[in-house]
Every structure is written in structure tokens, then in C-alpha cells.
Amino acid sequence: MSNTIPLTVLVDWLHRFRDAVVAQRDWLTELDSAIGDADHGANMARGMTAAVEKVDQTAPATADELFKAVGMTLVSTVGGASGPLYGTFFLRLGTSLGAVTEVTADALAAGLRAGLDGIVARGKAEAGDKTLFDAISPALQAMDAALAEGASAGTAARAAASAAADGRDATTDLVARKGRASYLGERSAGHVDPGSASATLLFEALAAAVAA
């Protein structure tokens, strides 16, 4: 595929992410039961199901409309920290992309970066805090590096997904400094952060959609 990504692929990405969190709901809940409220899987599955239903019903015509619909739905339907964080991520992504029907890979990367900035602004997360930041940040670094080397959108998305998975796995040994998991102190080590796990599903879904 070229480095131009049509709106239909962005919609497909959301469907794939919904399918992934629904399929992995029990796993995400298991991860969250160890260091959180045991609701991340259920919350993400419910939120993304509602978001995709909203998209399918309203058929947004532009990227900003698409991700605004997703972001607003997540904020209103997902409890805990996940709704506001993922909601902000998609809202900022949509604002960055604007009223377009296709995006370049560079524009998408910049939009994803804007989404991460929104997460940081809302949750104050930093590298090593054992949050979804630890998967998203390395994913975007890998995506930017691949695009800078002239890689296709598909190759850059695959690099991002791989880096996200590495970041997710690296949270296992971290001691949480944010969220409910931080209450456990040293006992939070030894467990994968559920937010980083769902964020990895997000980038794996993107890679699959762009390659389709």
C-alpha cells in the first residue's frame, strides 16, 4: 500500500481494535485483576463496541468526525481511567488529522503523537510509570524512525506494533508509579500493565488494517 491511508482503512482499524479487545477481554481483565480493579477488559470491550456501533450508525465523512465520535463515545461509556485516556487520545488524533478523507503516513504519525500528548496532559504519565505510555511512546518512536528512512505506511505500522509489544513486555519488571497499581508499590512488579497490553492491541490492529 502507498503512504496514503484512506478513511475506509481508518474505520477498519477501529473495527479490528474492537475485535481484538473483545477477543482478549478475559486476558486484559486477568492482567488488571493482578494490579488494578479487574475491569480493564470489560471496560475496553464495552467502550470500543459502543464506539464502533456509533461509527457504523453515523458513517463519519472525515477523519476528524470519525475520531471525535470514537473519543466522545469512549469518554461517556468507559469507566475508570481508560475512558478519559483513550477518549482523549482519539479526540486529539482527530483534531490533528482534520477534515480529510485520506491521510499520509506522516500525518497519521503526527496525529498519533498528538494523541499521546493528550494522554500525558490528562494522566501525567512518563516513561517507566507502568502505564499505556510505555507501549505507545516506543511505538511512535519506531514509526517515526521507519518513516524517516522512507518506509511504507505498512512497514512503519508493523514497526510500531513490534515496539509496542516490546514496551508492553518491559512493563512486567516495572514498579507502578501511576494509577491504582501504584498503591501496591513493589508488589506491582512482576505483572504486565493492562493499559500497555490494550495499547499494543491498538497498534497491532493498525498494522493489520494498513496491510489489508
Report the chain (212 residues): mean pLDDT per 10 consecutive residues.
84 98 93 74 94 97 98 89 91 98 97 96 72 93 97 96 95 60 49 89 98 85
* Angle subtended by helix axes 133-148 and 194-211, to nearest 10: 30
Domain total for the chain? 1
Query: Residue 48 phi/psi, 5° resolution?
Result: -75, -30
**CATH number where 49 lies:** 1.25.40.340
pLDDT at 3: 73
Helix (H, G, I), strand (E, B) or coil at 102: strand
**Range of 164's domain?**
4-211
How many CB atoms lie under 10 A from the CB of residue 150? Answer: 9
Query: Residue 99 phi/psi, 5° resolution?
Result: -85, 70
pTM of structure: 0.91
pLDDT at 125: 73
